[in-house]
């Protein structure tokens, strides 16, 4: 791999590290361990930040906050780009991941994935992917397979994850709420992949402290999960952990009225949404509303070669029918950005993708 020092050095910035959240859990010997805490890096431009809202970057499954620092090919990551654009940045390791410890003997075991599964879905999907859009993937730097130095760097940074998605998301919600409390003013949350439900959950817990959500191919589609292991998931629609609806939901397995909607274009999956409009008078079905997200501005970003290209349309439609009115779906190919896969923020044109995100942020017309 080529030397990437010098011209590719990260932006000059100030750095602070701290932990938020967690609770003391008793053990069998009468002692206590702190569990569920979250590691945070706060990065500030060397000059005073020029942007109104700080950004919190939330990684996906098997990943950590290092994803945003340096790309696997050694080039600066999104943290450098957003610092350069004047943003105060917060990078987290979600609970039980990386520098946010998992404790042996806890209620969930750890899961990891072989290199071959990662190649097929993230880095070499043009050769191994099984969805229609996979053949469009051209932006990963390198061959994307074992033995390629860029892939080896990427795979080396992968981490085991807890197998209990409800535990993971609930702990992440609590920790991110604690982080938002510490920041003390409205922020932008950027969530990727399996980290995508965390911004919805954090906004649910702290609606006044989340101004915008940038959902980079969030886990989905509604009530399902497509990925390395696909199957029914997200019983709360956009999350595995409980989230607030109006009317309230106690048992999501029985209380949601659902309907299967045909994919609107060739190559798009049929997906499950909330049923609406059937019946008469007071019996007409009305979708339940994500009441604490209704004031949040949302951007869902989808790459043209990703497996998410099949179904992110349904996540956008689900959010809108759940009352999240200000939702934009950014399909990168519609902005002339071609060849990206699921790890778009690590790929060769990652700064161009980030530029589109900043352009959307700059379109904020709020008055508060």
Q: Which residues carry out catalysis?
A: 193
Helix (H) or strand (E) holding 198: helix 197-205
DSSP 307-338: GGGGTHHHHHHHHHHTT---EEEEEGGGGT--
Backbone angles phi, psi at 67, to 5 degrees: -55, -30
Using an 8 Å Cβ cutoff, are 96 and 198 in contact?
no
> Which has the closest alpha carbon to 217: 359, 94, 124, 331?
331
Using an 8 Å Cβ cutoff, are 120 and 128 in contact?
yes
Measured CA to CA, the distance from residue 222 to residue 316 in angstroms comes to: 10
Measured CA to CA, the distance from residue 61 to residue 120 in angstroms comes to: 16
In the DSSP assignment, the letter for residue 344 is: G
Using an 8 Å Cβ cutoff, are 136 and 305 in contact?
yes
DSSP 140-180: SSS--STT-HHHHHHHHT---EES-HHHHHHHHHHHHHHHH
CA separation (Å) from 314 to 35, 109, 271?
35, 31, 6
Using an 8 Å Cβ cutoff, are 300 and 132 in contact?
no
Measured CA to CA, the distance from residue 91 to residue 59 in angstroms comes to: 9
């Amino acid at each position: 791999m080529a030397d990437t020092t010098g011209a590719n050095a990260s932006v000059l910035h100030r750095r602070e590290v701290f932990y938020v959240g967690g609770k003391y859990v008793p053990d069998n010997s009468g002692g206590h361990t702190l569990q569920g805490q979250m590691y945070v890096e706060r990065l500030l431009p060397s000059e005073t930040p020029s942007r109104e809202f700080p950004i919190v970057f939330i990684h996906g499954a098997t990943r950590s906050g290092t994803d945003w620092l340096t790309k696997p090919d050694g080039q600066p990551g999104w943290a450098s780009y957003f610092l350069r654009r004047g943003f105060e940045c917060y990078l987290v390791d979600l609970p039980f991941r990386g520098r946010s410890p998992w404790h042996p003997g806890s209620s969930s075991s750890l899961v990891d994935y072989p290199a071959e599964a990662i190649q097929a879905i993230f880095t070499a999907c043009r050769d191994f992917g099984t969805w229609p859009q996979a053949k469009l993937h051209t932006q990963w730097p390198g061959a994307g397979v074992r033995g390629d130095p860029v892939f080896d760097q990427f795979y080396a940074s992968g981490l085991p994850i807890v197998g209990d998605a409800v535990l993971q998301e609930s702990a992440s919600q609590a920790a991110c709420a604690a982080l938002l409390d510490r920041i003390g003013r409205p922020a932008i949350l950027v969530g990727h992949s399996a980290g995508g439900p965390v911004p919805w959950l954090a906004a649910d817990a702290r609606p006044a402290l989340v101004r915008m959500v940038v959902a980079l191919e969030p886990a989905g589609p509604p009530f399902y999960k497509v990925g390395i292991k696909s199957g029914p998931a997200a019983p709360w629609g956009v999350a595995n952990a409980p989230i607030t609806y109006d009317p309230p939901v106690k048992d999501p397995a029985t209380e949601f009225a659902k309907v299967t909607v045909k994919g609107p274009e060739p190559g798009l999956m049929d997906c499950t949404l909330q049923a609406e409009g059937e019946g008469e008078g007071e019996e007409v079905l009305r979708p339940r509303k994500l009441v604490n997200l209704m004031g949040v501005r949302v951007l869902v970003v989808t790459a043209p070669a990703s497996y998410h290209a099949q179904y992110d349309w349904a996540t956008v439609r689900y959010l809108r029918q759940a009352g999240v009115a200000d939702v934009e779906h950014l399909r990168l190919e519609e902005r002339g950005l071609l060849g990206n896969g699921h790890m778009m923020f690590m790929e060769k044109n990652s700064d161009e993708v980030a530029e589109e995100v900043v352009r959307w942020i700059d379109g904020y017309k709020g008055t508060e």
